[in-house]
Structure 1
Amino acid sequence: MDELSWGVELWDQVENLFKHEIDQVGLTESYFKLFSDVQKLQHEFGKKLRKTVSVYLPRKKPDVDELSSVLTYSSIVPQILEIGVTHEASSKKLNESVVNPLKTQVENEKRSLEKQRSHWSKLNATIEQSRKQLELSWQKYVTNFKEKQKAYEVSERAQNDIQLARVDQQKFEALYQSKVQSFDQASRNYVDELAKYNIASRRHYSTDIVTFVDDMESSSRMRNNRTRELLLMVTRINEETISKLASCNKLISEAVSALDSSYDSAKVIKRLHTDEQPPADLPFLDLDKCPPGILDGSVSELGALILGVESAECTNQLNNSGSAISGSGMMSGLIRSTHKNSKDEYLSLRSPFICGISIKSIKNTDLTIRQVADRIKVLRELVMKTDNELRSTDRMIESCRTNPKFGDMECLVRAGATYSRRLNSLKQHIKELEK
């Protein structure tokens, strides 16, 4: 459909058009207030987010930096910080490219509307002045017509009155002729003013109002076009912001995907693992069968007797190596008896934990043949027990798949994974002892 003209179609709706334009300027002002508030909120959010996250920026810790959990954290925090920076940058662009231009546009539109109102008043004043001039000319025209008609009637009566002197009849006739001349002059003046008014009226309605209303339409279209450009700028800023946020989120997602509990667990084992094994069992010391003099001898020789080795030099279990294992009712290091012998003899018997046997960790290479056999036996029993627990857990998991109300599937899966890892470690230790 072809576009139509406000000036031609709405020439008689100027006041309603002014109301329409006032509403449109108000709408532009609403856009300004809206994006002004949005810009302030975005700036405040970005600033607070950036300052808050900056406190959590990771510090380098070489001993743990290789863990995926640490790497994930180290990757995520800067991206969250970048999100704050992005919002700050976006708010700045919004302020410079949208908010400030909208403010200027609102101020200009209000001034333009005031000028249009003033111009409209002048147009109306001009046509009103033409109407007044025509009104005055009309009044004179009508008045002179009435006076001429009255003078004519008086003159006719005088001419028909045979008792009236001829001089008086001539006076009334002269008065009538004078009124005729006045009427003719008033008539010519009225015709002139009427022509001027019609010209002014045609110009007012056919040209001035049409031009004025078309100018209002042009202003309205320009306003909409400017507003449209500014709103498109908002979308471009948002698209740029969303793109940067999506990039940050993608990096965060990649960092989260790199979080590997199995990898970290292996790293922790590699970093903290030692060759130390739990303390060996404490052998029984038959005091009645101890060789003469050994109870008064060195503690290390007594320890060698307990372990069944020829001398203290044959094993490192009797020296100061190994870590003391603390526990309920124990003290780190060599544990002393809670009571003392009545005499100072047999000092080596003041505690059953001679040379720290059974309270200090021990290396596989320091185990005696009997201790190795005992340790393998214990480990195999643990393997069997753990394997049974794993099988039982697997059966429960299968039952949960059939009937979800049977138990907590997630908890069972975690337990199964724990048993599986424990089984792997126990088997590995058995292999190491059997070498």
Structure 2
Amino acid sequence: MNWGTELWDQYDNLAAHTHKGIEFLDKYGNFVKERCAIELEYANKLRRLAKSYQPKRKEEDDYQYSPCKAFRQLLQELNDFAGQREVVAENLQSNVVRELHLLAKELREERKQHLNEGAKQMAVLNTAIGALERARRAYERAARDSERALEAFQKADADFNLSRAEVEKQKINMKSRSQACEEAKQEYMDQLRKTNDAQRQHYEQRLPHVFKQLQDLDEKRIKNIKNFMLSSVDVERKVFPIIMKCFDGMDQAANSINEREDTQLVIERYKSGFLPPEDFRFEAATGADATDSAPTHQTHNHLTAARGTVSGNRIKKRGGLLSIFSSNKSLSSVIGGMALSCVLIHT
């Protein structure tokens, strides 16, 4: 599980992989940052909601009933719950978002250094390979020149028309080219050894060291993402007991509602103290127009006496002969006067 040995020829892919890994770290950081914003917005909206439903001064009298009292307590618990969501957002911001941003910056700088080192080692190897290629081409040229010089000497030596001086000249040229070929060959062999040494060091030591650093960097990134996720959960877990207390308070508020006590409270608040009216009594009709008239009953209007109730309609008086008399006279005095008038007429 070592990048340096298992992925010795995947320099470009490892460079791309580590780049994508840091981009994912940034992506996770943006996720937590947006979540913080949502938590704060949620908390602020809950606070505004709780505040908007707080009882007004004119509603204070109604908040003596148990549902209203429970609702007021629920609003307080909701406000405390919103405060815990704010704590979650603040702790995520300080413990995760800020640290994650610093880590991403650090990993980018480290990755850049490792890739620069890898590029440097690649340049060293490429330089050695280039030198080897030049030495090989020089040796090939020298070998061809030596071979042509040998052929020219052999041809001159076989030509009896040439002077000994011309033959000696070709011989000297052959030896010179042969010597140059041997030198080029030796230089090529020396450079081959150096290049092979450089290549072995590159793929067995130098590049594996760079890849191991990139591997450590990537594992560090992965491990920290794990820690950041666990830290996010821990932030939630720390406020959970307080949030549970808020829920317990809401339960307590709901369980405090008592319909029987509220019923008794309504009675105590609106009871007038008056007795219900008595039954109407039957009264015998007298006189020719008795069917069209009836005495006026003086009754207490209990509906108007009760506080907070609708006023009752007044009982209208019936019209007829008796309505011509003043209402402050009793019925007995009216009847007595009518009887006296009849006696005087007959006499």
Corresponding residue number in structure 1 for 2:54 = 57
- Residue 23 of structure 2 is matched in structure 1 by 26
Tell me the alpha carbon deviations over residues 362-408 of structure 1, each in whole angstroms, 9 at most, x when there is no partner: xxxxxxxxxxxxxxxxxxxxxxxxxxxxxxxxxxxxxxxxxxxxxxx
Query: What does 1:354-393 align with in structure 2 at a 5 Å threshold?
Result: none
- Tell me which residue corresponds to 1:347: 327
Partner SS for 1:29: helix
Match of 2:45 in 1: 48
The match for 2:157 is: 159
Deviations 1:319-349 (A, max 9, x none): x9x9279666x23xxx563759788744226
Check conservation: 1:336, 1:350, Cα contact below 8 A: no
The structure-2 alpha-carbon separation of the partners of 1:350 and 1:220, relative to structure 1 and needing over 3 Å to count, comes to: farther
Give the Cα separation in 2 of the matches to 1:194 and 1:21: 34
The reply on whether 1:337 has 2:330 as its aligned counterpart is: no
Aligned-partner Cα distance in 1 for 2:86–2:105: 27
Deviation of the 1:159 alpha carbon: 2.1
Residue 125 of structure 2 corresponds to residue 127 of structure 1: yes
Distance 1:33 1:338, change over 3 A: farther
Q: How far apart are the structure 1 equivalents of 2:33 and 2:88?
A: 13
Change in Cα spacing, 1:343 to 1:259, as seen in structure 2 (3 Å) is: closer
Amino acid at match of 2:279: D
Is the Cα–Cα contact under 8 Å of residues 114 and 213 in structure 2 kept in the other structure? no
> Which amino acid letter does the alignment assign opposite residue 81 of structure 1?
N
Alignment partners' CA distance in 2, 1:204 and 1:326: 102
1:287 shift after superposition: 9.0
Structure 1 match to 2:103: 105
Tell me, in whole angstroms, the C-alpha distance in 1 between the residues paired with 2:10 and 2:213: 14
The 2-side partners of 1:186 and 1:130 are apart by 17
Match of 1:323 among 270, 294, 305: 305
Distance 1:285 1:140, change over 3 A: same
Give 2:106's aligned amino acid: N
Which residue of structure 1 aligns with residue 80 of structure 2?
A: 82
Unmatched 5+ stretches in structure 1: 289-301, 307-316, 352-435
2:7 aligned with 1:10, yes or no? yes
Q: Which one scores higher on RCO, CA 8 angstroms, separation ≥ 6?
A: 2
Q: Contact 1:337/1:350 (CA < 8 Å) preserved in 2?
A: no
Please report how far the alpha carbon of residue 276 of structure 1 lies from its aligned counterpart in structure 2 after TM superposition.
Answer: 2.1
**SS of the residue 2:305 aligns to:** coil
**What is the CA–CA distance in structure 2 between the aligned matches of 1:168 and 1:341, rounded to whole Å?**
180
Contact 1:158/1:164 (<8 A) preserved: yes
- Structure 2 partner of 1:36: 33
Q: Distance in 1 between matches of 2:163 and 2:330?
A: 178
Paired amino acid for 1:347: S
Q: Distance in 2 between matches of 1:42 and 1:274?
A: 53
| Aligned-partner Cα distance in 2 for 1:74–1:249 | 14
1:159-196 superposed Cα distances (whole Å, 9 cap, x missing partner):
23233211111111111111122122212222222222
- In structure 1, C-alpha distance between the alignment counterparts of 2:143 and 2:323, rounded to whole Å: 161
Q: Report the 3-state secondary structure (helix = DSSP H, G, I; strand = E; otherwise coil) of the residue aligned with 1:348.
A: coil
Structure 2: 5+ residue runs without aligned partners? 287-295, 332-347
**Residue of structure 1 in register with 2:191 after alignment:** 193
Distance 1:110 1:27 in 2: 12
1:144 aligns with 2:149: no
CA shift in 2, pair 1:144/1:279, >3 Å: same
Aligned to 2:201: 203
Compute the RMSD of aligned alpha carbons.
Answer: 3.3
- Which piece of structure 1 moves more, 270-279 or 195-204? 270-279
What TM-score do the two structures reach when normalised by structure 2?
Answer: 0.80
Identity of aligned residues (%): 20
Match of 2:161, SS state, is coil
